[in-house]
Chain A
Amino acid sequence: MFAKKLVTSAMLFTTLSLTTLTALAEEVNIYSFRQPFLINPIMEKFTEQTGVKVNILFAKKGLVERIKREASLSPADLVLTSDFSRLMQLTEQNLTQAVDSKVLTTNIPSQYRDPDLHWFALTTRVRNIYSSVERVGPVPNITYQDLASPEFKGKICTRSGKHPYNISLVASVIAHQGLADAKVWLQGLKANLARKPQGNDRAQVKAVKDGLCDYALGNSYYLGKMLADPKQVAWAEAVNINFPNQNSSGAHVNVSGMALTKYAPNKANAIKLMEFLSDDLAQQLYAQVNYEYPVNARVAPSKLVASWGDFKADKLPLAEIAKQHKAAVKLLDEVKFDL
């Protein structure tokens, strides 16, 4: 029992010293749904410029619940998300606060921020349809709706329907066409799948290269990432990138974004960081390193991304799409999309 006491007290001492250490420095704390290696280069620049240390906790599941449970004691100042639905969950559960900053409202166009200023988008990404160079070629007029028609039978690959990117796409179809039509569409899409939904977006492009399918759903920046990877460049070169619904509603666009937490202990630094992330330098890094579309109109996309050409984006406000999030999840269950 003595050993137990010793270990426990040693542990408590360590944690105590850790907590005091983090309380002293000039810093800002981030709970991040995005992988550290994507955002670290940008955070390093911020620390370089301001001297404020950035602490990041990365997880893909459970961060919203953690903030909720920690309540007024939460150390988190800022939440970074890789899609829109998480931003909505945060604001809906009253875990965020408004940021009234001239810099933010100038840098981020109004369609990419909450009217109440609780969340802000940082980058946008398109849900593209990739087509095989060898067997299909470019299909500039393709629509998401086409994917449900019989001539695509056995030709489509996608990741799990339950991934936020796909839920968001389904939610946008519900928002545009209503639940009943969306169900018919989703059933059609399900019937056309070459294989059970699996893997991530990159894996779908690889499947096109392998000849398992001719079309794949995938986010735009993955193509840039794959072209920069020595092993994956061959996969990327096997597909054309197409922007869907160009003659109709426009391509479905999701965002990565940020929100200030309700009880942010380092509020001033957090706002400083938010402004930095919306400003030219960080936005350029997002564009150059991650191949995402910057929301800041002063910053151009990377050369590669620009070479894919201009496109028409869905004009429906993100909040309208987010309202259908739960309906989309239930619809995916109903048509047994992943099974």
Chain B
Amino acid sequence: MTDHAVLLQQIINGLSLGAMYALLAIGFTLVYGILELINFAHFNVFMVGSFVGMWALELLGLSGQSRILTGLPLFGALAFAFIVAMLACGVLGVAIERFALRPLRTVSGTTGMITTIGVSYILFNVILLWAGADAKNYPNPMPAMHWPLGGAVIELRELLIWGIALVLMVGLHLFVSRTRLGKAMRATAQDAEAARMMGVDVDRVVVTAFFLGSALAGAAALIFGLYYNYTSFLIGYTAGLRAFTAAVLGGIGSVTGAMVGGIIIGLVETLGGQLIAVRWTDVIIFSILVLVLVFAPAGLMGRAAPTKS
């Protein structure tokens, strides 16, 4: 491969990772937009999602990369896995909100965030104790189809990932902008108190935000498994922190910002690894996180600097 082609390939890879980070970042941004809460539990809701997706695929008799499906069976298997993982994560997110966070909603300060760190730890260790510490070979029924593109290759998995991410994000956008509940969400994000006085059921809005955000984390988790062909109890932290950086970079609270930020972080990861060194990738990403928060806390598309104390 020429240098040019290598860069192109890294851009393709970056877009795939970016699509995953974007889906994960939306969960942070939805919850932050409404509750001004940084939800660390989201990291490991994502990780749990990858295990649920794996179990769903195994339920269909798939294991490792041994069995390849095409056509309708492939579509059906993936749809099944995505629906199961998204539903499971959505329910998990709602349960976390209901039992760990709702009692603390009126408590100011960092109490809520500390609680989500605790929840995240619980999820992390439950999976560790249950499934073990070893990395799991992820069932992947996708055929190894690929198409050349200017010296690089686009694989089927990239197309599928882009397609799924696009469908989900357009769906979310339509939900938020066109439906009654979506309008209630936007109103609550602007001013929860005023929304409540206008008759918006804020609890329902919060539950919806947690459900949608967590369900998208479930989709991102399955994409992670299908992309890297493995999962482990450890994946939540790194991916979660990168996605969080994406949300901050895009402007936390802004759904479009989360999508854009996700793509940028995906590209930074692959291109940064290519142009500088893989071992410094995390330092670059954390530096972006710190720099954006300190110098431009509104991010690319955020509404305003955070004011919560």
Q: Do A and B actually bind?
A: no
Residue positions of A touching B, CB distance < 8 A: none
